[in-house]
Amino acid sequence: MNITRRTLLGTIAAGISTIPAFKASAQSDWPSRVVRLVSPYGAGGASDISLRILAEQFGRTFNQQFIVENKAGAGTRVANELVSRAAPDGYTFLYVAAPYATAEALFEKVNYNRRDLQPVAMAMLAPLFLVVNAQAPFKTVQEMIAYGKSKPEGLTFGSPGAGSQPHLAAELLFRDAGVKGLIVPFRGDNMAYTELLASRLDATLTALATALPHIQSGALRVLGVASAERSAIYPEAMTLREQGLSSVVASGWYGFMAPAATPQPIVDRLQTEVIRVLGDPEVKQKLVVQGLEARPGTAAEFGKFIDDETRKWGEVIRAAGLKGE
């Protein structure tokens, strides 16, 4: 069979012209198989439960399975690195958490580049409440500060690990209040509560869900919340800003990120779905039970939020001379 040069070039050109069509088709058919949602924490906590709530809703909308993979470790860096190196095909997403914004300032080496990940959507906040022993010799934030100033060692705060959001929020509180303080790191919140209940700590900043049974029993007391505004989770708690600590605004947070080259139409579709799901009153109430507030935002809004958090906490980390474990 004779094939002329013109025929051959025409065939090649036709083949090339179909490539964008195939890509467009793959994006419009998304998701055509299981989608992985990688969590930076272990199973069973508020982070894990909230992600599973969202995954179930995504599955219903897209008629495809969204599975949660727990990849805990290294202050969320294990999960961050895994997703940064995943194929950018729309089938792997990161349920990113607050330590993402502090890793570069805390650790000498981070095995991923922030340019390898792109924001998809902000999801929620985990407000931090200032919790003390109900028998403590102070009833308000200002009384607690005065108490700390009366002691040579200042205040002692428990935290769920060095460099964690509660730790950084406490450092910010000490600085704003002009009081000395010691942060005692624990492996999680429960050990900190044990010490707080035994009056061996003055306070802790914590998500409310795990502390709530002790608060309801009358063993612990809430003095305030570090959010910019009062929280629907425990609205009777005044903000620390309302109580004279104008710069103490801190929360845990979660959102979605994807490998940087993930097609924009796929990113846009998941962004739209995150915002839709988090507007559902039933979903919002399920999150409140876990100590979380729905706070959906676009990819652009989430990107700015992360940049702002990175600058803010980087300055706090450097001023306090902190180094991650």
Mean predicted confidence (pLDDT) in 306-325:
90
What is the pLDDT at residue 114? Answer: 86
Reported as type and span, the H/E element at residue 177 is: helix 165-177
Among 268, 264, 234, 13, CA closest to 130? 234
Query: For residue 162, is pLDDT > 90?
Result: no
Mean predicted confidence (pLDDT) in 162-168:
89
The DSSP symbol for 75 reads G
Alpha helices of 29-113 — where are they, by DSSP H?
46-62, 77-84, 103-106
Tokens found for residue 71:
């990849």
Query: For residue 16, is pLDDT > 70?
Result: no
- The total number of residues shown for the chain amounts to 325
Cα–Cα distance, 196 to 310 (Å, whole number) = 30
pTM: 0.88
Query: Would you give the end-to-end CA distance of the chain in angstroms?
Result: 70
What is the pLDDT at residue 121? Answer: 98
| CATH entry, 129-225, from 3.40.190.10, 3.40.50.620, 3.40.50.2020, 3.40.50.300 | 3.40.190.10
Q: Residue 255's beta-bridge partner residues?
A: 96, 122
Query: For residue 9, is pLDDT > 50?
Result: no
What is the pLDDT at residue 191? Answer: 81
Cα–Cα distance, 201 to 257 (Å, whole number) = 37
Cα–Cα distance, 173 to 168 (Å, whole number) = 9
Would you place residue 75 in the very low, low, confident or very high pLDDT band (cuts 50, 70, 90)? Answer: confident
What is the pLDDT at residue 22? Answer: 45
pLDDT by residue (tens digit) across 250-307?
999 999 999 999 999 999 999 999 999 999 999 999 999 999 999 999 999 999 999 9
Cα–Cα distance, 80 to 96 (Å, whole number) = 7
What is the pLDDT at residue 44? Answer: 86
What is the pLDDT at residue 6? Answer: 53
Which fold is adopted by the domain 34-126+252-320? D-Maltodextrin-Binding Protein; domain 2 (3.40.190)
Where along the chain do its domains lie? 34-126+252-320, 129-225
pLDDT by residue (tens digit) across 110-128?
999 889 999 999 999 999 9
**Domains 34-126+252-320 and 129-225 agree in fold:** yes
In terms of DSSP bridges, do strands 203-206 and 155-159 run parallel, antiparallel, or are they unpaired?
parallel
Is the distance from CB of 238 to CB of 95 less than 8 angstroms? no
- The three-class DSSP label of residue 322 is coil
Among 79, 118, 127, 110, CA closest to 302? 118
What is the pLDDT at residue 27? Answer: 61
Would you place residue 325 in the very low, low, confident or very high pLDDT band (cuts 50, 70, 90)? Answer: low
pLDDT by residue (tens digit) across 22-64?
455 556 789 999 999 999 999 988 899 999 999 999 999 999 9
pLDDT by residue (tens digit) across 173-230?
999 999 999 999 887 777 888 899 999 999 999 988 888 889 999 999 999 999 999 9
